[in-house]
Structure 1
Amino acid sequence: MGELVFVRKDKHIAYLTMNQPEKLNALSADLVQALIRELKKAEADDEVKVIILSGAGKSFCSGGDLSAFQKMSDIGSIINWMKEATRLEQTIVELDKLVISAVHGYAAGAGFSLALASDFIVCDKDAIFTASFAKVGLIPDLGLMKNLAKNVPLPLAKEWLLSGSRITAEEAYRKGLVNRIAEGDVN
């Protein structure tokens, strides 16, 4: 297995790219820990002013790694994973540096949560946002309910959360969820 997070620095920008393209950057416990570690390194770096979070391959992040959940043998393991994943969202929210999520492909479930935890969201024209928790029998996590309701009217947030609707880049922009739709590839 290669690096879970590619890190590149250019002037005052740290680029952090989730690197599990074969799993559409689904959040495994290892990827969560690697992201927290790299975000904290970027925050401690006085030269870095902005962090851009993206995903390698076809998608930003397809959510939690459900195949990893299935391998967990006890509820304690799942609870620990959830605590760490929530710590990732909190780390992004609490950073003193600006965080921009560059979304392409899917930002689904926990991936949607990560994007919303950022200060700004830029996406490509084909990006899809979805809170697909209801479709897999889960409740939204990683601050999604709170962060979504801060960005769009509560009735709309409830509709999206309960229906698992696919929100296109254009709709996300019109509703004020994303700051900008990029002309080209954001990745």
Structure 2
Amino acid sequence: MAEDTREQSSSNPSVAPATGGGPSETNPVNAAKGVVLGKDGKPCRPCSSFAAFTKSTLKKPSQPATTTATLTTPGDCPADVETLGRSSWTLLHTIAATYPTSPSPSEQSDLKSFIKLFSKLYPCWVCAEDFQHYIKKQDVRTDNRQAFGTWLCEAHNEVNRKLGKPIFDCSKWEERWRTGWKDGRCD
């Protein structure tokens, strides 16, 4: 649930090369680097980084240039792919942290349905498709809190691998998202 780093295929010309190590093929639709186009052919804001989206949509030539390293989404603007991803992972990990240790069959079914619907309704269509593929490859584990929390951590790490981000030690997911760090900084 972050910017797309998959190779661009000739059957999907709407995905522009991603920022920071994305595909090297030329972009047949001339979208700015790091901008993912929506299915309507226009830049998809929740699929693209704020910096790339802003560069692609700026119409004021008199504005001073801003480097992408320092440009972040202001808090009162629509979410970009990074903001949306962080918020979504926070929600999902918090759901895992509060999921029952012994869920009923109904609770298990509800969670599995929620995750599948979440993957279909996610605003970044590229991210949504990636998550749907992951769910098909690794079925959602809803037997108990530990199983779901670990499954979700592994799903998050799969995205982190694709983006070249650090991998989280899934043995610590509960400390990170439920109980707080043992050093007391969350107390």
Q: Report the TM-score when normalising by structure 2.
A: 0.28
The higher radius of gyration belongs to 2
Task: Choose between structure 1 and 2: higher strand proportion.
Answer: 1
Q: Report the TM-score when normalising by structure 1.
A: 0.28
